[in-house]
Amino acid sequence: MDIAVKIRALIVCLVLVTGLSALSVRLITLQVWDRRMSDKAQVSRFEDWRVIPASRGRIVDRHDHVLAQNFPVAALVVDRNHLNHSDNLTKAVTHRFASQTLGWKKLTEKERRELLRKIKQERVSKMSREEVIAEHLEYASEVIGRELQIPPARLRNNVLVHNANKDWFAIEKDIPEDLVRELEDELQLRSIQGFSFERSQKRHYTMSTLAPHLVGFVDYEGIGRAGIEKSYNELLSGRDGERQLKRDANGLVMLTESSAVRPPKLGKHIRLTLDMGLQAIVEVELEEALKKYNADRGSIIITDPHTGDILAMASRPYYDLNDRKNFSKNGASMNFPVEGSYEAGSVMKLVAMTAALDSGLVNRNTEVYCGWGHITRGRVKINDHHAYGDLSFDKVMMKSSNPGVFCFAEIAGRDVFYEYLKNYGFCQRTGIPVGWEARGSHTDSSNMQNFAQATFGYGVSVSPIQLAMAYSAAANGGHLMKPRLVDSVIANNGIVVEQTPVTKIRRVMKEQTSKGMCLSLEQVVLDGTGKNAAVPGHRVGGKTGTAWKWDNVNKFYDRNKKFLTFAGIAPIQDPKFVCIVTIDEPKAPMDVEEDFRIGGGTVAAPVFSKVAKRVIEQMNIAPTEPIDEELADLTR
């Protein structure tokens, strides 16, 4: 045979042998080595990264009393992929048998390693896959159960039965962080696999029944769903971090060590204008008032008239921020002072009287003819509750005469009246940052009947927060203020990063008019419909409101259903706060005479008196008037 042919045949044979050999090696690799590694890789795909939840910012009151804060918790998570991978469980099983050996705790590190090697070789290596899995689960249940004070049998059953169709699920939640760290150390020490912890932050409300509608709450995902929690969710939330779990040489998870970390960004804190001392007062007094008068709905607001600060705001029905069991029942989710609107009655006489006085066409001594029970304008009849004849400006306010108020509004002019209604902030949102807010509305201003009714508070729907800002304007020299609920946004280092400014929206009246209106409101309390609002030793002023409720089905005002209001200012000579009390459909209390008349002066005014007395004490406002002991007894 030719030598060249032999060489070519040899080369072909070598190529075939080399190729087949390489193919054989590849097949062995795929069938044996890569299979083992792929099994471990399959397990390694799980639990690689863990979220480090950002701590949500705190919500505090004006004195930095904490209202809402986070604390770290974790859920104990089971991963069946790890629990069923027997190769990764032998180390833990070996450790269990070794730790049961007499004298284990006294052995040196070298002696322990030798014992572990011997037990693995002589005992564990001879166990079936199912035996290893069962032994590991029993060991894990004992260790975890001891730390969490849970029966091991219950834990084991939860793993085997609970969420049978899921490979990844939680069996215990809300475990405190300090306990989690202890348990992680225990699991890592014993090489127990298949159990890990999913960190989260749990929101806790330290004063959960005080101002719940304003503070608001977060859902199970930590997202704000109401109140300030919702309005300032982005600032409060921060940004989650993450860490990559470290593994040992065998691919086993090391729960307490990380190979990479991206730290979380903490949320910012929100300081509110609320004073929780005052908030507690209004919550208690509102609750007692509704109970006494068998009413379901009501509210109390306290504001600083000079800054627009909301110092306290209570609304009923309400709910507990920590459990929210009543959130969806009986309208408890509604923040009535902001979301509700109603025809407020005589407290709205402030608008017409301000328009007349501020125009310069009248003064507080000007008299108007109020008729003898009613007056007429064309085909419009305006009724009064008494026959008064001629009344001065102050006496119209004191006696709350409907014809008298209309006459003063008529002097100012219809267009001027509606201009002051707008300037006072009615029929427009105040901008308070707690979600949806009622705008309010009024009927057709070109209609004489509507105009007449609007002057004494019918045909105009308003919210309690609008009333609070309107009476603040009357108290502070004539400026309509934007309500401030958030004082500032604060970084974690304590630096204020955003300060909510005190905002004057517009001038409603001259300063002299403001003083005159305050003095007129004082007369209402001294000798008018608001006598029950008096506070011993202090000059206060205000206006009562008794409004029949409109029956939208039968299209008439139901005289048996009333919405009562008292709008008060204290002290009148140097206003420190405005207080608005509203009570919906009260009934006569059981312990009073049968002829008890339900009205703003008999129900809402006494509530104001009790609230104002306590607020004055809390603010440490010194008395300026002699204290009438008989009056003091009545207000206790």
Burial string for 31-65 (b: 16+ CB within 10 Å, else e) reads eeeeeeeeebeebbebbeebebbbbbbbbbbbeeb
Burial class (CB in 10 A: 0-12, 13-18, 19+), 2: exposed
Asked whether residue 29 is domain-assigned, the answer is no
State what percent of residues in the chain have pLDDT above 70: 88
- What is the chain's alpha carbon radius of gyration, rounded to the nearest angstrom? 38
According to the model, what pLDDT value does residue 37 have? 46
Mark whether 369 and 290 lie in a shared domain.
yes
Of 245, 234, 300, which is closest to residue 267 (Cα–Cα)?
A: 234
Q: Is 312 helix (H, G, I), strand (E, B) or coil?
A: strand
Work out the pLDDT band at 591, boundaries 50, 70, 90. confident
According to the model, what pLDDT value does residue 474 have? 98
Asked whether residue 231 is domain-assigned, the answer is yes
Measured CA to CA, the distance from residue 275 to residue 67 in angstroms comes to 11
Can you give the CATH number for the domain in which 525 is found? 3.40.710.10
pTM here?
A: 0.85
Q: How far is CA 511 from CA 354, 508, 630, in A?
A: 11, 9, 36
Mark whether 281 and 246 lie in a shared domain.
no
Give 508-551 pLDDT, tens digit per residue: 999 999 999 999 999 999 999 999 999 999 999 999 999 999 99
Measured CA to CA, the distance from residue 276 to residue 232 in angstroms comes to 20
According to the model, what pLDDT value does residue 42 have? 45
According to the model, what pLDDT value does residue 629 have? 64
Mark whether 248 and 286 lie in a shared domain.
no
Element housing 74 (H / E): strand 66-79
**Token pair for 508:** 């409603």
CB 290 within 8 A of CB 604: no
According to the model, what pLDDT value does residue 87 have? 82
According to the model, what pLDDT value does residue 256 have? 57
Measured CA to CA, the distance from residue 308 to residue 69 in angstroms comes to 26
Quote helix, strand, coil % in the chain, to nearest 5.
40, 25, 35
Can you give the CATH number for the domain in which 194 is found? 3.90.1310.10
Q: Is the pLDDT of residue 137 over 50?
A: yes
Mark whether 237 and 365 lie in a shared domain.
no
For the chain, the domain total comes to 2
Q: Which residue has the higher pLDDT, 463 or 198?
A: 463
SS3 for 419-486, per residue? HHHHHCCCCCCCCCCCCCCCCCEECCCCCHHHHHHHHCCCCEEECHHHHHHHHHHHHCCCEEECCECE
Span 321-346, average pLDDT: 94
Mark whether 371 and 458 lie in a shared domain.
yes
**Token pair for 274:** 């609320």
Mark whether 449 and 413 lie in a shared domain.
yes
According to the model, what pLDDT value does residue 39 have? 45
Mark whether 543 and 620 lie in a shared domain.
yes
Span 17-21, average pLDDT: 66
Asked whether residue 331 is domain-assigned, the answer is no
Mark whether 228 and 320 lie in a shared domain.
no
SS3 for 492-517, per residue? CCCCEEEECCCCEEEECCCHHHHHHH
Asked whether residue 259 is domain-assigned, the answer is no
According to the model, what pLDDT value does residue 28 have? 59
Q: Is the pLDDT of residue 31 over 60?
A: no
Mark whether 226 and 316 lie in a shared domain.
no
Measured CA to CA, the distance from residue 151 to residue 153 in angstroms comes to 5
* Range of the structural domain that residue 117 is part of: 53-253
Least trusted range by pLDDT, from 398-407, 414-423, 623-632: 623-632
Work out the pLDDT band at 88, boundaries 50, 70, 90. confident
Asked whether residue 235 is domain-assigned, the answer is yes
Tell me the H-state helices in 73-176: 80-83, 90-99, 109-122, 129-148, 152-161
**Token pair for 351:** 């608008």
Give 369-385 pLDDT, tens digit per residue: 999 999 999 999 999 98
**Token pair for 461:** 């729907």
Q: Is the pLDDT of residue 140 over 80?
A: yes
Average pLDDT, the chain: 90
Q: Is the pLDDT of residue 80 over 90?
A: no
Helix and strand numbers (H, E) in the chain are 22, 24
Measured CA to CA, the distance from residue 285 to residue 332 in angstroms comes to 18
DSSP secondary structure string for all residues of 553-599: TTTEEEEEEEEEEEEEEESTTS--EEEEEEEES----TTS-TTPPPS
According to the model, what pLDDT value does residue 587 have? 94
Q: Is the pLDDT of residue 34 over 70?
A: no
Of 160, 194, 195, 161, which is closest to residue 175 (Cα–Cα)?
A: 195
Measured CA to CA, the distance from residue 416 to residue 241 in angstroms comes to 59
Give 223-264 pLDDT, tens digit per residue: 999 999 999 999 999 888 777 766 665 556 656 555 677 788
Asked whether residue 261 is domain-assigned, the answer is no
CA 271, chain centre distance (Å)? 13
Phi and psi angles of residue 449, each rounded to the nearest 5 degrees, phi first:
-60, -45
According to the model, what pLDDT value does residue 36 have? 46
Asked whether residue 266 is domain-assigned, the answer is no
Mark whether 463 and 592 lie in a shared domain.
yes
Mark whether 187 and 309 lie in a shared domain.
no
**Token pair for 19:** 């190729």
According to the model, what pLDDT value does residue 52 have? 74
Span 593-615, average pLDDT: 93
Q: How far is CA 620 from CA 280, 536, 576, 615, 629, in A?
A: 16, 14, 11, 8, 20
According to the model, what pLDDT value does residue 29 have? 59
Q: Which amino acid is at 152?
A: P
Asked whether residue 473 is domain-assigned, the answer is yes
Least trusted range by pLDDT, from 26-35, 332-341, 490-499, 618-627: 26-35
State what percent of residues in the chain have pLDDT above 90: 75
According to the model, what pLDDT value does residue 174 have? 92
Mark whether 156 and 249 lie in a shared domain.
yes
According to the model, what pLDDT value does residue 46 have? 45
Give 149-190 pLDDT, tens digit per residue: 999 999 999 888 866 678 888 999 999 999 999 999 999 999
DSSP classification of residue 625: S
Span 604-630, average pLDDT: 92
Work out the pLDDT band at 4, boundaries 50, 70, 90. low
Q: Is the pLDDT of residue 64 over 90?
A: yes
CB 176 within 8 A of CB 73: yes
